[in-house]
Structure 1
């Protein structure tokens, strides 16, 4: 997984927090999260080279929604507890 974030906007902490939350939730199922510096207001989350979230298209991700998107792709059987409540 990759999280590309804008260095000009100083979104490193947001990207790191998002990565921490995903790694805490998915652990070995996810493997790794790479933080990729970018510019121009980018904040994109990619899984297997597919963009699953783009700030330009949808704003910043709601963490529960992002976890559901990731779970549905890598571990559909996994319960996310309160994050499953829509």
Structure 2
């Protein structure tokens, strides 16, 4: 099964750069494990959702903020490549 991430962000909130940064970090870390990372502008104001293979991985509203990139990488790793060493992100 291909591993796909969708980052749905609120363009009115100015979160495109944050979404792009997270996409870059994930694509750099999971070069062979991820098939795609898609940035999707949301029609719903304030939304910032991250989906992995169509399952909700993160909801900014539920978390009351944004995840640290280290934490996001660990969540993705634990689901698609549990044995992968994340180097400094595991410390």
TM tier, shorter chain?
over 0.9
CA distance in 1, matches of 2:60, 2:32: 26
Q: What TM-score does the superposition give when structure 1 sets the normalisation length?
A: 0.95
What is the total number of aligned residue pairs between the two structures? 85
Q: Distance in 2 between matches of 1:33 and 1:18?
A: 9
Runs of 4+ deviating beyond 2 Å: none
Query: Runs of 5+ in structure 1 lacking a partner?
Result: none
Q: Report the equivalent of 1:20.
A: 24
Alpha-carbon distance in structure 1 between the residues aligned to 2:8 and 2:84? 26
Distance 1:72 1:57 in 2: 20
The unaligned stretches of length 5 or more in structure 2 are: none
Q: CA-atom RMSD, angstroms?
A: 0.7
Query: What is the CA deviation profile of residues 38-78 of structure 1, one whole-angstrom value per residue up to 9, with x for unaligned ones?
Result: 13101110001111111111110111111000000111110
